[in-house]
Amino acid sequence: MSIRYIESCRLPTPWGTFDMHGFEDTTSQKEHVVLTMGDVRGDEPVLARIHSECLTGDGLFSLRCDCGAQLQAAMYKVAQAGRGAIFYLRQEGRGIGLLNKIRAYHLQDCGADTVEANEALGFGADMRDYTILKPMIEHLAIEKIRLMTNNPRKVKALQDIGIPVVERLAHQTGRNPHNAKYLETKKGKLGHLLEDGADDSPQ
């Protein structure tokens, strides 16, 4: 595996102070981080979120997706619990990269949904690789996870690399008029477990 641990530091945020752990994928040259709070080592299941980078949603406050809202909700929930981990993976646009994501957004502006746009550009609907999580989880000595996700593929991906997921916690937030079609595509074509009208955004 090409994942190499680099260093850790403190990261104060509006939700509390996390520890930020940096990892480098020496094959792809991508840099990933894990935010932890509390002691995540050992047998007690860790509240966790696997979050793929979304510059537009996380950093530019886009309403085309629910990514930024999901990241903030995860940080809030971990802080409320006092113990947890957020894996921030540099897999923009479900793995197609930022510029191809912009191309896909253009196709969506013309009427395509997210899956149709990715496929029109020659990509799969979801190109993300979750096997890179294994060395990160092992480095942090996390043994079991309670996963905040609506995506069954993430649960299976962790189980496939030998990480027990003892509970899946619905993580639904950020619905708005701009992302209604996006969320319906997630549910209808990608199998995400979404309930109509549900929203557990931080209060």
Residue spans per domain, the chain = 3-91+128-190, 92-127
Q: Contact 159/145 with Cβ under 8 angstroms?
A: no
52 is in an annotated binding site: yes
User: What length does the chain have?
Assistant: 203
The CATH number, out of the four listed (3.30.43.10, 3.40.50.10990, 3.40.50.150, 3.10.130.10), of the domain defined by the range 3-91+128-190: 3.40.50.10990
Q: Is the pLDDT of residue 172 over 80?
A: no
Q: Contact 62/114 with Cβ under 8 angstroms?
A: no
Which residue in the block uniquely carries the two structure tokens 């094959």?
27
17 is in an annotated binding site: no
Least Cα distance to 174 among 202, 148, 147, 201 occurs for 201
51 is in an annotated binding site: yes
185 is in an annotated binding site: no
Q: How many CB atoms lie within 10 A of CB 182?
A: 18
Question: Would you name the residues annotated as active-site residues?
Answer: 126, 128
Of 49-53, 77-81, 167-171, 199-203, the poorest mean pLDDT is in 199-203
Q: Is the pLDDT of residue 72 over 90?
A: yes
93 is in an annotated binding site: yes
User: Which are the contacts of 44, defined by CB distance < 8 A and separation ≥ 6?
Assistant: 144
Least Cα distance to 145 among 49, 32, 70, 74 occurs for 49
Q: What is the pLDDT of residue 193?
A: 58
Cα distances (angstroms) measured from residue 14 to each of 56, 79, 111: 20, 10, 37
pTM for the whole thing? 0.89
Q: Is the pLDDT of residue 198 over 70?
A: no
